[in-house]
Structure 1
Amino acid sequence: MRDGITRRIVSLWMPRLASDRVLRAWPDEGPFALTLNQKNTNRISCLNAPAERQGLYRGMPLSDARAFCPELNSRPGDPAADWRFLMGLRRWLTRYCPWVGVEGRDGLVLDVTGSTHLWGGEAAMLADLRQRFAGAGLSVQIGLGDTRGAAWALAHHGEGVAHPQQPLAALSPLPVAALRLEEEVVTALQRLGLRTIGDLAAAARAPLARRFGPGLLMRLDQALGAQPEEIAPLQEPPHYGVRLSLPEPIGLLDDLMAGIERLLVRLCQKLDRQEAGARMLCLTLRRVDQSDRRIELRLARPLRDAARILPLFARAMGDVDAGFGIDQLRLEARQVEPLPVEQVNHVASDRQDRLDDLISRIGTGIGLENIQRILPADSHIPERSFIIAPAAYSRAEDGWSHSPPRPLMLFPPEFISAKGARPPRKFRWRRVQFTTLRVTGPERIAPEWWLDDENWRSGLRDYWRVETRQGRRLWLFHTPQDPGWYVQGEFA
């Protein structure tokens, strides 16, 4: 009871949510299953009704399933996409009531207290739910009761309706597993002869509490309404979008920039409250002829500073055709990342901000992925001691920590004719004769045995820094296993 009104809870269980989601896009009338890799084995994670009729079940290895059912079609599962689909269903179900919660990965729960009359009563609302789910190609089992536990039990074990203030009458024939108990507890109760909720409710409570603890009786009381169990609706994610409707159409660049500035200030205030920053902004300009012009701005770093973002729009706005005028501007942050408040050095921060803005301006024309930087990598192998990464999605490191230092210019090894384990006094490289003046080394580098690198199959390398009388400072190495000398780099 709540304020004299009997609570009514609806539980929706979608046992084939994942497979139904995929089959909506790729219909298949035959046996179909989704698989996930578990312990190096592809196992069935969800399957449709025809596959179940063939004797297949969840957790079954895919190889065994194909042996039982050669006509089985399968696809890799995507739990993240299944969760997004469930969240979309949760938001859609707010048309029936404002309180919608989640039950695991395949269920939803609605508190429809006081809202069923808007649909012509409980029976009409449940009929509408079943019709809409069937029309969407989703299988669903529905339970309705005074409590969350009763609704869950009816949805998972019988699909029925418990009359107001009479939960035990509907729950009595259901198995004790309908109380959301662990498998060990269910097995122990069945050995005691307590197989249904009615048997459990009629048994003495004190011995049950001593043997199974308070959890068993709490689940029973929650289902029968003696213990409260709230429904916590998920909080809607913040919407980072602002709009400006104009009483009169505008077309001048200065007027458009002034409108964008007003939108940016409001959007950045929203981002600041959430300690977030925008990585991609989408500006939509609606013209009076009802056509839209969209401008996307991708940023090198998350930002919520309107003064820094506004100049980045200026270049793109120069090519905008306003037509007969623009009467609405809409700005939305399409990609948002956390941007917590932090203490920074003013000088270093200003230098980094200018670099990020430069990357954003250049990236607007050629794409952020095409602006790259070289970063150090944790490897002694010269060819693997660096990586190339997009500058917008990486931070500049302090530098290489190798000792001795590496050459400024690195290239594939080039053979030179020489003998012996020490650098030659004279050698010819790239059609130029060199005379050795000073050498430093050797530095022995062993191949990384866990990587199959064709260039390092010759084994160890002894590297030398060689200064020549001609002024060139070269990086030479010798291969002891297969004697030979090579030049691989040049120092500044």
Structure 2
Amino acid sequence: MFGGMQRRIVSMWFPRLPSDRALRARPVDGPFALTLNEANAIRLYDLNDQAERQGLHRGMSYADARSFCPGLQSRPANPVGDARFLQTLRRWATRYCPWVGLEGKDGLVLDVTGAAHLFGGEAAMLADMRTRLARAGLSLRLGLGDSRGAAWALAHSVEGSAAPGQALATLARLPVAALRLDDRTDTALQRLGLRSIGALEAAPRAALARRFGPGLLLRLDQALGRQSEQVTPAAEPPHYGVRLTFPDPIGLVEDVMAGIARLLDQLCIRLKTQEAGARALCLSLRRVDQRVQTVELRLAGALRDAGRILPLFERGISEVDAGYGIDQLRLEATLVEPLPVEQISHVASGRAGQLDDLISRIGLRIGLENVQRFLPADSHIPEHGFLVAPAAWSEPGGSWVAQRSRPLRLFPPEPIDGTGPQPPRQFRWRRITLTTARATGPERIAPEWWLEDENWRSGMRDYWHVETRQGLRLWLFHTPQTPGWFVQGEFA
């Protein structure tokens, strides 16, 4: 009882949640299945009703499924997307009651005690659930009972409801598997002849406890309402949005910046509480004529320091048309990243974050993606030894590892005259006649056969470090397959 009222629990089971979600986005006609790579084998993860009627089942090898059903259509499964979709359904289900929790990977549990009359009774409420979810293209099985275990048993077995106080009478004929037992316990009970919940309830409890432990009796008592089982609603994600309304409209840049400073103080306190930092912020300015202008700010690093964020808004605010005045400001962190508290060291330079602030300021003018840095790449090919990445979304680090020295300047190969595998004694490069004084090599570099590269179709290269009498130190290579000499780099 809760407040003198009989407790009532609804179990929502979505037996085909992954496939229903996929078919909502891209419907298909005929048998359909989602596949997942498990233990180096592609198996069926979920399937629609037509595929099940063809004799297919979850866990079946995809190759076997195609042999049974040549017309089977499939797509890769996305368990992470399915989990997010279930969270969306959980938020939607709060329209029926505030206490909604997750039930495994494909179900929800609702404590609707005292809420059914708002929808015209329990039958009308269940009918409304079925209608709305069927309209959304989702398969649904519902169970309603006095306990979470009873509701789960009904949803996964016969789909129905148990009248208040009639749990045992309603569940007695259901199989023992409806008690949320593992396969091993279910099989053992079947061998003992205890195939239904009613037969299990009539069996000696002491003998069952000795044979199966306390877990079996706990599940039985939970289903029959003897042992309470709470419905714990999932915590709502923190909301990083603050608002400020003015009694009189403002229009000066200084006034707007002062308002933003107040909002940033509140927002940064929330971020600090959650040990998070903002990477993107959106400021909405509502004018008295109800038009809304926005200023977006993207940061090079996670930040929750109001003093460092505030100056970055100056450029965007200076371009805002205040019209007859601004009466409301709303600031929201639209992209948030973890930013745990760090121990302050006595040897810290005090300049941490200055580079991120500089990148953010430059990014406001030319775009944050256009501020880039070079990063080392694991490749023995000279041209592939580095990659270019946006500075805001990468961290400097790593190092180039080469067995031999590499030129300071690297450029596309430039052909020179030369024959044979040894460096030419004299050659002409960039309108300069050069004489070889000393040559070190060769260093043979083979192409990466697993990558397509037009520049390396000539095959392997033999690289030489050549010092000329004119003072130039060049990096030359020879191509044995199609004989020729090229200059590709210059040492300092």
| Residue number in structure 2 paired with 1:267 | 267
Q: Shift of the alpha carbon at 1:211?
A: 3.5
| Residue number in structure 1 paired with 2:433 | 433
Asked if structure 1 preserves the Cα contact closer than 8 Å seen for 2:32 and 2:50, the reply is: no
TM-score by length of 2: 0.89
| Residue number in structure 1 paired with 2:488 | 488
| Residue number in structure 2 paired with 1:36 | 35
Q: In the alignment, residue 240 of structure 1 is paired with which amino acid?
A: Y
Q: Shift of the alpha carbon at 1:345?
A: 6.5
| Residue number in structure 2 paired with 1:364 | 364
- Structure 2 CA distance for partners of 1:454 and 1:41, relative to 1, 3 Å: farther
**In the TM superposition, what whole-angstrom CA distance separates every residue of 1:195-232 from its partner, at most 9, and x where no partner exists?**
21112222233443344333322222221223332222
**In the TM superposition, what whole-angstrom CA distance separates every residue of 1:99-138 from its partner, at most 9, and x where no partner exists?**
2110112100012233334444433332332333334333
| Residue number in structure 1 paired with 2:150 | 150
- Structure 2 CA distance for partners of 1:354 and 1:331, relative to 1, 3 Å: same
Mapped to 2, the partners of 1:489 and 1:289 lie a distance apart of: 63
Asked if structure 2 preserves the Cα contact closer than 8 Å seen for 1:371 and 1:390, the reply is: yes
Q: In the alignment, residue 30 of structure 2 is paired with which amino acid?
A: P
Matched, 1:204 2:204: yes
State the Cα RMSD in Å.
2.9
| Residue number in structure 1 paired with 2:177 | 177
Mapped to 2, the partners of 1:443 and 1:69 lie a distance apart of: 56
| Residue number in structure 2 paired with 1:247 | 247
**In the TM superposition, what whole-angstrom CA distance separates every residue of 1:131-153 from its partner, at most 9, and x where no partner exists?**
33334333321111122111100
Matched, 1:220 2:220: yes
Q: In the alignment, residue 172 of structure 2 is paired with which amino acid?
A: S
Partner secondary structure for residue 95 of structure 1: coil
| Residue number in structure 1 paired with 2:78 | 78
Q: In the alignment, residue 35 of structure 1 is paired with which amino acid?
A: L
Q: Shift of the alpha carbon at 1:454?
A: 6.0
Mapped to 2, the partners of 1:330 and 1:271 lie a distance apart of: 16
**More moved, 344-353 vs 18-27:** 344-353
1:436-451 correspondence runs (5 A): 436-448=436-448
**In the TM superposition, what whole-angstrom CA distance separates every residue of 1:392-451 from its partner, at most 9, and x where no partner exists?**
111122643435332122123333333455544322223321122344445444555665
Matched, 1:116 2:101: no
| Residue number in structure 1 paired with 2:289 | 289
Asked if structure 1 preserves the Cα contact closer than 8 Å seen for 2:147 and 2:222, the reply is: yes
1:461-480 correspondence runs (5 A): 461-479=461-479
Would you say how many aligned residue pairs link Structure 1 and Structure 2? 491
- Structure 2 CA distance for partners of 1:278 and 1:219, relative to 1, 3 Å: same
**More moved, 33-42 vs 374-383:** 33-42
Q: Shift of the alpha carbon at 1:470?
A: 2.3
- Structure 2 CA distance for partners of 1:27 and 1:476, relative to 1, 3 Å: closer
Partner secondary structure for residue 227 of structure 2: coil
Asked if structure 1 preserves the Cα contact closer than 8 Å seen for 2:33 and 2:51, the reply is: no
- Structure 2 CA distance for partners of 1:331 and 1:359, relative to 1, 3 Å: same
Mapped to 1, the partners of 2:347 and 2:369 lie a distance apart of: 28
Mapped to 2, the partners of 1:202 and 1:349 lie a distance apart of: 74
1:22-421 correspondence runs (5 A): 22-26=22-26, 30-31=29-30, 33-39=32-38, 43-60=43-60, 74-343=74-343, 350-351=350-351, 353-397=353-397, 399-419=399-419, 421=421
**In the TM superposition, what whole-angstrom CA distance separates every residue of 1:368-390 from its partner, at most 9, and x where no partner exists?**
22221111112222122111111
Q: In the alignment, residue 286 of structure 2 is paired with which amino acid?
A: R
Q: Shift of the alpha carbon at 1:85?
A: 2.1
Q: Shift of the alpha carbon at 1:277?
A: 0.7
Q: In the alignment, residue 109 of structure 1 is paired with which amino acid?
A: V
Partner secondary structure for residue 7 of structure 2: coil
Q: In the alignment, residue 133 of structure 1 is paired with which amino acid?
A: L
Mapped to 1, the partners of 2:428 and 2:397 lie a distance apart of: 37
- Structure 2 CA distance for partners of 1:32 and 1:307, relative to 1, 3 Å: farther
The gaps in structure 2 that reach 5 residues or longer are none
- Structure 2 CA distance for partners of 1:444 and 1:282, relative to 1, 3 Å: same
Asked if structure 2 preserves the Cα contact closer than 8 Å seen for 1:250 and 1:326, the reply is: yes
Asked if structure 1 preserves the Cα contact closer than 8 Å seen for 2:301 and 2:356, the reply is: yes
Asked if structure 1 preserves the Cα contact closer than 8 Å seen for 2:300 and 2:357, the reply is: yes
- Structure 2 CA distance for partners of 1:49 and 1:446, relative to 1, 3 Å: closer
- Structure 2 CA distance for partners of 1:95 and 1:380, relative to 1, 3 Å: same
- Structure 2 CA distance for partners of 1:288 and 1:216, relative to 1, 3 Å: same
Q: Shift of the alpha carbon at 1:234?
A: 0.9
Asked if structure 1 preserves the Cα contact closer than 8 Å seen for 2:35 and 2:62, the reply is: no
Asked if structure 2 preserves the Cα contact closer than 8 Å seen for 1:35 and 1:42, the reply is: no
- Structure 2 CA distance for partners of 1:343 and 1:380, relative to 1, 3 Å: farther
Partner secondary structure for residue 239 of structure 1: coil
Mapped to 2, the partners of 1:408 and 1:264 lie a distance apart of: 46
Partner secondary structure for residue 227 of structure 1: coil
Mapped to 2, the partners of 1:385 and 1:26 lie a distance apart of: 42
| Residue number in structure 2 paired with 1:8 | 8
Asked if structure 2 preserves the Cα contact closer than 8 Å seen for 1:31 and 1:49, the reply is: no
Q: Shift of the alpha carbon at 1:36?
A: 2.5
Partner secondary structure for residue 374 of structure 1: strand
Q: In the alignment, residue 305 of structure 2 is paired with which amino acid?
A: D
Asked if structure 1 preserves the Cα contact closer than 8 Å seen for 2:476 and 2:488, the reply is: yes
Asked if structure 2 preserves the Cα contact closer than 8 Å seen for 1:33 and 1:44, the reply is: no
Mapped to 1, the partners of 2:51 and 2:402 lie a distance apart of: 59
Partner secondary structure for residue 379 of structure 1: coil
Q: Give % identity.
A: 68
Q: Shift of the alpha carbon at 1:482?
A: 6.3
Mapped to 2, the partners of 1:437 and 1:364 lie a distance apart of: 52
Asked if structure 2 preserves the Cα contact closer than 8 Å seen for 1:42 and 1:61, the reply is: yes
Mapped to 1, the partners of 2:5 and 2:354 lie a distance apart of: 62
Q: Shift of the alpha carbon at 1:333?
A: 0.7
Mapped to 2, the partners of 1:87 and 1:121 lie a distance apart of: 26
Q: In the alignment, residue 353 of structure 1 is paired with which amino acid?
A: G
Mapped to 1, the partners of 2:267 and 2:235 lie a distance apart of: 20
The gaps in structure 1 that reach 5 residues or longer are none
